[in-house]
Amino acid sequence: MTDYRVGFGYDSHRFATGIPLFLGGVNILSEKGCVAHSDGDALIHAICDALLGAAALDDIGIHFPDNDPSLKNIDSTILLKKVVEILHTQGFQIQNMDASILLERPKLAPFVPLIRQSLSKLLEIEETRISIKAKTNEKMGFVGREEGIAVYVVVMIKKSYER
């Protein structure tokens, strides 16, 4: 018997100048980065929530609270590695991941191959199972005004049981 599950994740962060922008563990050339307790990698945060949600294991804030001083400025790839380890301990395997990243600037097309490569290693799945779509918000809302970023992620995981 195989148990397939779908998880959905979302994250958003305000932008500020002089802060690096990280997405999927990749430092993106940008004038602005995300204000956050960690390194502000909104893509990784949304992936963590999607994976934890699919496995019914709470959310990123429960596992890594933003009031924990030991997590201040932490590299979000460390958080994702821990989430993947938690899933593997529970017997789950990641099948695929699909993300939509909403921001007006910078244009992400040149960075998508690097992000997929980074996430492939972190998620321990083939790059062909990772989809990254960069979208603008057509100048609408906080994303359109270039005040911040929003990320949506869907994942599928599976757990096989022996009969």
Close Cβ partners of 137 (under 8 Å, ≥ 6 residues apart): 102, 103, 104, 143, 144, 150
Model confidence at 36: pLDDT above 90: yes
Residue 160 has pLDDT above 90, yes or no: no
Architecture of the domain defined by 2-160:
2-Layer Sandwich (3.30)
pLDDT at residue number 114:
98
CA angle 6, 136, 13 (to 5 degrees): 65
- Count CA atoms within 13 Å of residue 108 on its CB side: 24
Examine the pLDDT at 163 and tell me if it is beyond 80: no
Q: Quick one: how far is CA 146 from the chain centroid?
A: 20
Average confidence (pLDDT) over 102-130: 98
11 forms beta bridges with: 151
Whether the Cβ atoms of residue 123 and residue 97 lie closer than 8 Å to each other: yes
Q: What percent of the chain is predicted at pLDDT more than 90?
A: 97
Percent of the chain predicted with pLDDT > 70 = 99
pLDDT digits 0-9 by tens, 57-100: 999 999 999 999 999 999 999 999 999 999 999 999 999 999 99
CA dihedral sign, ordered 78, 82, 83, 85: positive
Q: Where are the domains of the chain?
A: 2-160
Q: How many helices (H) and strands (E) does the chain have?
A: 5, 7
8 A C-beta contact, residue 15 and residue 33:
yes
Asked whether residue 157 carries a pLDDT value surpassing 80, the answer given is yes
State how far the Cα of 57 lies from the Cα of 46, in Å rounded to an integer: 14
Half-sphere exposure of 43 (CA within 13 A, CB side): 30
- Say if pTM beats, i.e. exceeds, 0.75: yes
